[in-house]
Amino acid sequence: MNKFLLPLLLSALVWLSACSEKDTREQAQIGNPVDQVELSSQIMTPEALWSFGRISGVRVSPDDKQILFSSSFYDVEGNSGNGELFIMPVDGGEAVNITNTEGSEYNARWRPDGEKIGYLSGQSGSTQLWEMNPDGSGKSQISGIEGGINGFEYAPNQEKILYIKQVKLDKNVQDIHPDLPKANARIETDLMYRHWDEWHNYKYSHVFVADYDGSQVTNPVDIMEGEKYHAPLEPFGGMGQINWSPDSKQITYTSKKLTGKEYTLSTNSEIYIYDLESGETTNMTREQHEGYDQSAVYSPDGKMIAWESMRRDGYEADKNRIFVRNLETGEETNFSEGFEQNAHGLTWSDDGKKLYFTSDWHARFQIYQLNIETGDIRQITEGIHNYRSVEPAGDLLVGSRQSMSQPTEIYSIEPSTGKETQLSFINKNLMDQLRMGEVEKRWIETTDGKEMLTWVIYPPNFDKNKEYPTLLYCQGGPQSSVSQFFSYRWNFQMMAANGYIVVAPNRRGLPSFGMDWLEQISGDYAGQNIQDYLSAIDALKKEPYVDENHLGAVGASYGGYSIYYLAGHHDDRFKALISHDGMFNLESFYLQTEEMWFPNWDLGGPYWKEENQEVYEQSPHLFVDKWDTPIMVIHGQKDYRIAYTQSMSAFNAAQLRDIPSKFLFFPNENHWVLQPQNGMLWQREFFKWLDKWLKE
């Protein structure tokens, strides 16, 4: 469930724009719409939040001189979006918009010779592979694959490409009953008939390899032909889980080759290697790797392969370790022994002697370096921010970075010193108009005598001589860090701009503070972690500038569970509550969710087993008789991880008990809120509720 509150899903948007700076720090005007955006207020508003450009897909050119990236913007009025492609020099300079279309361009890649950029576009009616020159000229469609494709990679020798597409292998009602073409039904005989926000569409994502002659794609071969498995992993696995060997003779991909009930009970994904010459597929991680294994990358000489690995099956929040296999000897090395942190986004140095990756520690993601020969791991960057990616660029590294006070921008980093230089300035025009609140790091003592890192975000123009209503933020996951993320929904600067102090504790159960801290929550949802929440708000309410008579608590997913539980146990601390996509009745949740391995690990298993009764006794619905606080509940109908009936039940309970309550329901949203106008509505109703009970 860490993916519950993953900070962003970078969807396509409609405005085009870029704003960058030269080395002189003089603003380079590109002349796109966002450059002319003028805000009506100098503090964060929903309109400002939805005007930010969102950077993704950062790629360094083969000669290490140029950076290719995507920047996306939303059109709230049109309730739609568009993403465009840009290039800029690694050593700093102007960002140039190289696409300008009504549709989105994405999955952009440098061709290995650097003379072309390949990308996906749906402008021809289905998503196909296009190419252009690095300056944006000479655009041409080079694939015409029936049904379109969802991702691609060039082979290093440029003689082939691989791509992924959906393949229909299961029968629907019309296949079974062809004489009933208008029948609208499903026939299910096994589990995993729906996942995250989609019902199974009778199709599977497969990896294909095809010939490429520099102008067209031909002779595709499904390397997973007939297999009812997905690659990459659904729903969030991307092209980083599929890679070429340097000699273009092999493809490595991640898949969980299980079906139905077995699939929903396990996290055991494997790394597979497909040999183009023999057509044979080998499971590289079959032995002694029982949890998630994914995102394998070959060393530049092709002699080693590195990947991310979790040890325990059924536990998605296990430590994400670095494994390297010597392909000549078969020897495997776990480089994470003694390193009590996660590793994400492995990438090799050009000489194959080092691996770079990002890792979270004390609620911040930094860039790290692993020396393959010695096994030493060294932290490169410092600061109150999150790095989301890293890639070598000659003597430098290129990374994308964000914080609670800044959306993602691109930086160059000197590996030896950690010196950072901002390269992209996509949001400079907007950022120059906004006043951000101070973000303070505090260590607060918990009820069991430990120290807990808590972020405190103050309103812009904070005056310590005034009193402010204050919000306790309850994180979801339940095991995802309250790090320096910039959220487009749970945006702390937005909350602060509305006149609230925000208290965001890294309570028990969150990563980057050691495995003991992380794992305390499993099987104990209402235990020490709930006390940690109360420790944080109790510490802050002692401050003279906190109005202890106007405290609120908000949260989503497990954070939503926390709100429902606190509603019956907060001892009159809070005057307003908001729960988004929360678990209200743990028994019904167990039988309504889709990936069963999650409640089996976190709740111990089904509620009908006697040994699990203690955790199910922590279900919030059992304490509704103690509710007395105004509560707003929010949910999306397409949320299949936590069904919307959980929030409906909570709202009905509050109504029947005559507790002031509101239900905000989104028929077309999932566990998040992704559509522009829905997002604006969410912000308006969120603060309307808080203001009513904490300010009036």
pLDDT of residue 489: 96
Torsion angle of the four alpha carbons 557, 344, 236, 362, in this order, in degrees rounded to the nearest 10? 10
Catalytic annotation, residues: 557, 639, 671
- Other Cβ atoms closer than 10 A to 169: 14
pLDDT category of residue 15 using cuts at 50, 70 and 90: very low
pLDDT category of residue 35 using cuts at 50, 70 and 90: low
Q: For the segment 468-507, what is each residue's pLDDT rounded down to a tens digit?
A: 999 999 999 999 999 999 999 999 999 999 999 999 999 9
Distance CA 235, CA 232 (A): 9
Least confident of 39-53, 228-242, 641-655: 39-53
Fold of the 435-694 domain: Rossmann fold (3.40.50)
Which two structure tokens, joined as six digits, stand for 187? 């026939």
pLDDT of residue 100: 83
CA-CA-CA-CA torsion sign (620, 625, 630, 632) = positive
Q: Does pLDDT of 521 surpass 90?
A: yes
The pTM (predicted TM-score) of the whole model is 0.93
Which two structure tokens, joined as six digits, stand for 694? 């904490």
Q: For the segment 47-78, what is each residue's pLDDT rounded down to a tens digit?
A: 999 999 999 999 999 999 999 999 998 999 99
Q: For the segment 290-337, what is each residue's pLDDT rounded down to a tens digit?
A: 999 999 999 999 999 999 999 999 999 999 999 999 999 999 999 999
Q: DSSP string spanning 598-636?
A: HHHHHS-S-TTSGGGHHHHTT-GGGGGGG--S-EEEEEE
**Burial state string for 67-105 with b = 16 or more CB within 10 A and e = fewer than 16:** bbbbbbbbebeeebbbbbbbbbbbebebbbbbbeeeebb
* Cβ-based neighbours of 189, under 8 Å, separated by 6 or more: none
Least confident of 101-110, 179-188, 333-342: 101-110
pLDDT category of residue 11 using cuts at 50, 70 and 90: very low
pLDDT category of residue 161 using cuts at 50, 70 and 90: very high
Q: Does pLDDT of 391 surpass 90?
A: yes
Q: Does pLDDT of 664 surpass 80?
A: yes
pLDDT category of residue 696 using cuts at 50, 70 and 90: confident
pLDDT > 90 in the chain, percent: 91
pLDDT of residue 8: 31
Q: Does pLDDT of 386 surpass 90?
A: yes
Which two structure tokens, joined as six digits, stand for 207? 């990896």
* Per-domain boundaries in the chain: 435-694
